[in-house]
Structure 1
Amino acid sequence: MASAQTITLLLPARSRFGGQRLSEATGRALARADHSRREADALADVLDVLPRGWPVAAAARQRDVGDAAGAIWLRADPAYVRPDINGARLLSYGQALNLTADDAASLLRPLKPLFGDAGFPIDAPSPSRWYLRVPAGSKLPQFTSPEQALGADLFDELPQGPEGRRWRALLSEAQVVLHNHPLNAQRAAAGLAPVNSLWFWGAGALPDRVQSRHARIASDDETLTALAALAGAQVQARPASWDGELTRGDALIDLRDARDLAALENDWFAPLLEALAQGALARLRFDFDDGARYDIARSQRWRFWRRQLQSFVGIANDE
């Protein structure tokens, strides 16, 4: 097995784990590790994008079709919005809706004249990734990513200001079209969530340059994977657990959605620490979303006087 210079685990903020207990092996390794802080945002540290920003739609469009140059792109992903007593909430979007290519084509058919007449042609090279082509130089409002909006009050997450007014009106018209679409009656009869809205996000043009020091990136995050592909990294979906396949070249594994420390220990920490002990890895980095970093190397086993960490509670206050 070829040795990797570094395996980086991108992890949630340590506070997310509360008082969950670290295993003896992990607590010992972190106590003996080199500890530092990252000042940049986690993704900004992984990806160097010029000009600055996160033009996810253009990056994903280039990956999916290869025609992103010369326009601004906006994702208009299929979504399920549920009304409630206080308004409405985004409950599902994109891949989670399990649309087929035929489903997407059927839903798009009445939407194409609506968006085409507005000057924003819509298409779906993937059933879960829908795109609007926006003329270069157009002014766009700020759009919220679906991950951030999920479960939140829809009104608070819609684009605001003078530019946002036009997009809110377009969304309302699209919602009427989708509400009346016969496919949604079929989905409801089958116990599936309707596709009754769109989610606009990820606006921007293709960046001039994207670089990453990671040769391989395993993630389910669309922003990270779409832009990492532009950087030339080998991108893949995150496996369920460590399988040893990511040791060929510097690799990053995105685990920011993890909340169960015991599952992390079993699926990732324990096998990676064992690989490090056996010399299969040169270094293992724990990179937390709160900026804390722990760089673990085999040579640190001689730091036996450092007291083992029991949990992450209180550590941030002691730094």
Structure 2
Amino acid sequence: METTARHVECWLPDLQRFDPAHPLCALLREGDRVTNGAQGYLGGLSAYFHYDGELPAAALIREHLAGDAADACWLNADPAWIQPDMSGARLLACGHLPLGMEEAQALVEPLQAVFAEQGMALHVSTPQRWQLRVPADMFMPHFDAPEQALGEDLYDHLPQGPDGRRWRVLLNEVQVLLHQHPLNAQRRERGLPPVNSLWFWGGGVLPSHIDTALRGVIGEDLLLLALAHRAGIPAQRRTVSTADAAQAGWLLDLQDQSADAIAGEWWPCLQALSKRVPMLLSFASGERCLHRPWHRWRFWRGRA
């Protein structure tokens, strides 16, 4: 297996999203399968970046966006949409709701007093990314990340037991206030999903250092960019031109893109890269394939 420095790594969605006719499958037929890698969004980030303990996503994002994480304890409290059903309530969206900064600030205003009573402060870093500054001596249980809970019953992913009760009660108060907020009534009238809950996750303190074998990253994901910043490697926003210029040792993040978007917007770039530099195609479902420029001459490999 080659080291990261010898290829561009392309992080892609689950392999099963690509049908056999997808142009990307031509590279899979030409390349060599290698040992499976990490699965999922958080699993992938943990494979690319190394740190002690659980990923302190909130502190990393806050430092990247505002530069004031310092040595405080932070917890993501991202705006979320939950939908009640016959058996409970399901998390349908988190961190990807259509929401402007003025709307976010308006929604947060009545919540501040609730958090202040607990010694916490709620900060809006972006309309989609909110963080709680938590007292250092406050017990913080494990919270599941959004990707672990999307589409599932909300209560299966809340902290349980006496230690989690404080947070369940707090979340219930927040949900009542958001349900009553006039802005959510306006959003429903406009055909937009309400922001009727928060999702707590990614708690912790900013790590003193983060290690990585990557030389740089190209992507749009805030946590990926924050990790790169903390690890001291360059990070570029994802455009066709930055992807075209990717060099060995860099990670190109496309795992949030649809198969159709990859076949359309990104395929010319990927095809050109495959002729110029070795590429490791890493799928979020774990499969990996190493493609070298000369592999395109493997014309004897027919369609699967």
Change (3 A) 1:162 1:227: farther
8 Å contact from structure 1 (residues 216, 249) kept in 2: no
2:119 touches 2:134 (CA, 8 Å); kept in 1? yes
Match of 2:290 among 280, 295, 301: 295
The alignment covers a number of residue pairs equal to 296
Q: Which residue of 2 aligns with 1:33?
A: 31
In 2, the alpha carbon distance for the partners of 1:193 and 1:251 equals 37
**Matching residue of 1:204:** 204
- One-letter amino acid matched to 1:103: E
2: CA distance, partners of 1:31 / 1:192: 43
Question: Residues of 2 paired with 1:170 and 1:7: CA distance?
Answer: 45
For 1:286-316, what per-residue CA distance to the aligned partner results, in whole angstroms no more than 9, with x for missing partners?
11234332222223456555x3352xxxxxx
Q: Distance in 2 between matches of 1:232 and 1:268?
A: 27
Alignment of 1:7-22 (within 5 A): 7-17=8-18, 20-22=20-22
Q: Tell me which amino acid in the other structure corresponds to 1:70.
A: D
Name whichever of 173-182 and 188-197 sits farther off: 188-197
Matched ranges for 1:149-164 at <5 A: 149-164=149-164
TM-score by structure 1 length? 0.81
Greater shift, 211-220 or 144-153, is seen at 211-220
1:259 Cα deviation from its structure 2 partner: 5.4
The answer to whether the aligner puts 1:92 opposite 2:79 as a matched pair is: no
Q: Deviations over 1:84-139 (max 9, x none)?
A: 22211222233423232x22222222211110111111121322211111122432
8 Å contact 1:30–1:309 — kept in the other structure? no
Structure 1 match to 2:168:
168
CA distance in 2, matches of 1:300, 1:256: 24
Distance 1:21 1:302 in 2: 19
Q: The residue matched to 1:209 in structure 2 has which SS? A: coil
Aligned residue in 1 for 2:302: 308
Q: Is the 8 A contact 2:97 2:193 kept in 1?
A: no
What SS does the aligned partner of 2:210 have? Answer: strand
Q: TM-score, normalised by structure 2?
A: 0.84
- Structure 1 unmatched ranges of 5 or more: 311-319
Aligned equivalent of 1:254 = 253
- Identity over aligned pairs, percent: 41
Q: CA RMSD in A?
A: 2.8
Q: In 2, Cα distance between the equivalents of 1:70 and 1:191?
A: 41
Distance 1:244 1:237 in 2: 9
Q: Aligned residue for 2:79?
A: 78
The AA in structure 2 aligned to 1:20 is P
CA drift of 1:247 comes to: 2.1
Rounded to whole Å, the distance in 2 between the matches of 1:159 and 1:117 is: 20
- AA in 2 matched with 1:227: L
Q: Name the SS of the counterpart of 2:104 in structure 1.
A: helix
Matched with 1:313 is none
CA pair 199-20 structure 1, distance change in 2 beyond 3 A = same
Deviation at 1:164, TM superposition (A): 1.5
Q: In 2, Cα distance between the equivalents of 1:12 and 1:195?
A: 27
Change (3 A) 1:272 1:163: same
Q: Which runs of 5+ in 2 are unaligned?
A: none
Residue 43 in 1 paired to residue 9 in 2? no
Note closer, same or farther for the CA distance 1:299–1:95 as it changes in structure 2 (3 Å cut): closer
Letter in 2 for 1:76: A
CA contact (8 A) 2:28 2:289 kept: yes
Secondary structure of the corresponding residue to residue 230 of structure 1: helix
Tell me whether 153-162 or 166-175 shows the greater mean CA deviation.
153-162
Opposite residue 283 of structure 1, the aligned amino acid is: P
The residue identity in structure 2 corresponding to 1:66 is: G
Cα deviation, residue 285, structure 1: 1.2
Distance in 2, Cα, partners of 1:221 & 1:22: 25
Contact 1:242 1:272 in 2 (8 A): no
Report what 1:314 is aligned to.
Answer: none
What per-residue deviation string (whole Å, max 9, x for no partner) do you get for residues 131-171 of structure 1? 11112243211212123322221111222232221111000
2:244–2:269 Cα contact (<8 Å) kept: no
Aligned to 2:58: 57
Report the Cα offset of residue 56 of structure 1: 0.5
Partner of 1:316: none
Q: Secondary structure of the equivalent of 1:226? A: helix
Report the residue type matching 2:79 in the other structure.
P
